[in-house]
Structure 1
Amino acid sequence: MSDRRLTPFSGRIGHISLKDRGVPLTAGEPACVAAPLAALRAAPGGAMDRQLLFGDAVTVIDRRDGHAFVMAGKDGYCGWLAEQDLAAPRPATHRLCSPASHLYPEPRVQAPPLHPLYLNARLTVTGESGPWAETPQGYVPAIHLAPLGQPAKDPVAVAESLIGAPYLWGGNSVAGVDCSGLVQLAFHAAGLACPGDSDLQQEVGAELPETAPLKRGDLLFWKGHVALVAGPGRLLHANGYTMSVAYEDLDAATARIETHYGGQILARRRAL
């Protein structure tokens, strides 16, 4: 059975990549996310699967009741967004490299911000005004941006910048993030491909034998959960135990999860 999260079919219209499925197909129309965070849902107005970020590229496949069925360009995740959260496509030049920032109507610290921006938001820089980067939507502190061609060197350091962020199921920002959202944010910032959910993340990278020593940046998987190895005997994860992004002792976390949730480590992966 096809995974609905990765199948670009709205229930009545599919993307041309499906081919020979006996359903109406479309090439879709390009668009991008115009909201700071846009909930990607399983159905119009339904439960949130994930969040997309400002500037994320999408392909719109269908529209219904004020919602658009889209396929995300960064990971192929499919779902429904509110149409008001979409805008015409634009070529991004930079990404937000700080946990959060703001978009301003003018290059002035005292100006009331238009809205927040979050890590990995994609922006089109068209000019500079002192310490400010100018975009078609407004101004952003240039120190909070990095060119798309300059990824972060250490995904774990990126994840560490979100320590203390509240836990949010399906969240993808410092305003609220879950275990797989944290991993995806960190790996995307480092220029590494990464799916959106932990079961999908468990299928990428290289499998590590149980006896292989772990190193910083490796991933450990339990049923429904993923954590980053931050160092010897130390994990970093967004978790429902502390309801935050936090460090945890590896042995303590393993014992706690096994005791309270009946789960053992299912896989150890290393990014390629």
Structure 2
Amino acid sequence: MGIPPLAVQHTAFFHATQEKKMKHTVYNPAFSYTISPRFLTDAKRRTGFYDFAAATSHKMEKARAHAAALISKKGSEKMPLQVISPYAPLLCKPCDQAEQDDEAWFGQTAEILEELEDGWLRVRMEYGYESYVESRHVGPAPAAEAYKVVHVSWGDVLAAPRYQAPARLTLPKGSRVAMLQENNGWACLALPGGEAGYIRACHLSNLPEKPKEFDAAVLRGKIADEALSYLHCQYRWGGRTPAGVDCSGLCHAAYLLCGVAIYRNARMESGYPVREISRARLQIGDLLYFPGHIAIYLGGGRYIHAAGSSGGVCINSLRPGDRDYRDDLAETFLCAGSIFPL
């Protein structure tokens, strides 16, 4: 059989290409358009919809299998693993339709309390919160001499030290990463599964240290600044990333980024450093408690909080004369809490 004419070859190639692309065609009643597979994956990574643990390389699959083997080998023995997804949903029950309690950041450690059916684990996070997570979201921590934390809202980890390289994953603020070396403004990271990734070194900072007594004034300001960095983020029940936070997630994240672990829910709990104080003693960085709600005090009667009724993180006031006064919260104020003096 002879070789088909060039025009026929081009036509066959065109139809084969279109058939492949149609698998990724997004339909909208107003219009339709075609997205390339690489663009679709990149868009998912950058918007937080990309599941790095579920759709990744063969090395990551080996890492997950190794983690499962470790869990099985240890049995009921408590063993820490780390979160290997950009952020992992923590649910109130071992079911993917269950209510979300919290979100764990990449690199945070989880103590395995119980291995359940269908790939679920009962875990205790490093900050003491207990919940359920799918085993695909956790794995062994990579070895490294230095650990850093992502301090920008979102940090791209690229396949090579250049902006044009594809993103391996996008990490939220607070993620803990294993840094191998730094060169020409790029930090080389050890990723789960033995792969390397690169992030701009200026997007990383040292792990937050345990606050000292004489750091109180500075720490108060840092807590407020961290909370303000989430301003206008959308409200998400159980959320704790710039993609969305709830009231206690905002407060917990702001404190944890400053090296202090407070209770994850909107109440004081024994074993955590927050103590009740009078309203008259309120200072910047202290906590305001309402029925089922929590906020961070900014001074001058104002506070920052994540409110579902407002759609996200906003600033309101306790003073009746202020434009941003919330009478429903001011009239149901329960108490104030503080970690100071340290």
Please report the TM-score for the alignment, with normalisation by the length of structure 2: 0.66
Q: After alignment, is 179-188 or 146-155 more displaced?
A: 146-155
The alignment covers a number of residue pairs equal to: 242
Choose which of 325, 329, 333 in structure 2 pairs with 1:257.
329
Distance 1:171 1:230, change over 3 A: same
Specify the code of the residue in structure 2 equivalent to 1:67: W
Q: Name which of 59, 65, 87 aligns with 1:37.
A: 87
Map of 2:163 onto structure 1: 109
Pairing 1:146–2:218 present:
no
Q: 1:134 aligns with which of 188, 200, 208?
A: 188
RMSD: 2.1
Mean Cα deviation higher: 97-106 or 87-96: 87-96
SS in 1 for 2:309: coil
Task: Give the match for residue 76 of structure 2.
Answer: 26
Amino acid at match of 1:257: L
Greater fraction of residues in helix: 2
Distance 2:273 2:114 in 1: 29
SS of the aligned residue for 1:196 comes to coil
4+ runs of 1 displaced by more than 3 Å?
149-153, 200-204
Select the structure with the greater relative contact order (CA < 8 A; seq sep ≥ 6). Answer: 1
Q: 1:54 deviation in Å?
A: 0.3
Tell me by how many angstroms 1:27 deviates. Answer: 3.0
Give yes or no for contact 1:125–1:133 (8 Å, CA) kept in 2. Answer: yes
From the two aligned structures, give the one with the greater strand fraction: 1
Q: 1:134: Cα distance to partner?
A: 0.9
Whether the 8 Å contact between 2:268 and 2:274 is mirrored in structure 1 is no
- The correspondence for 2:253, drawn from 169, 180, 185, is 185
Task: Measure how far apart 1:130 and its partner are.
Answer: 1.3
Task: Report the CA distance between 1:150 and its aligned residue.
Answer: 5.2
In the aligned structure 2, how far is the partner of 1:70 from the partner of 1:206? 27
Bigger CA radius of gyration: 2
Aligned-partner Cα distance in 2 for 1:169–1:100: 20
User: Who is 1:209 aligned against?
Assistant: 278
Partner of 1:269: 337
The structure-2 alpha-carbon separation of the partners of 1:150 and 1:134, relative to structure 1 and needing over 3 Å to count, comes to: farther
Distance across 2 between alignment mates of 1:61 and 1:173? 25
Determine the structure 2 residue equivalent to 1:86: 138
* Secondary structure, aligned partner of 1:114: strand
What is the match of residue 99 of structure 1? Answer: 153
Q: Distance in 1 between matches of 2:151 and 2:286?
A: 22
| Structure 2: gaps of 5 or more residues | 1-74, 192-196, 211-217
Q: Which amino acid aligns with 1:223?
A: P
Percent identical pairs in the alignment equals 28
Deviation at 1:253, TM superposition (A): 4.4
| Cα distance between partner residues in 2 of 1:158 and 1:72 | 21
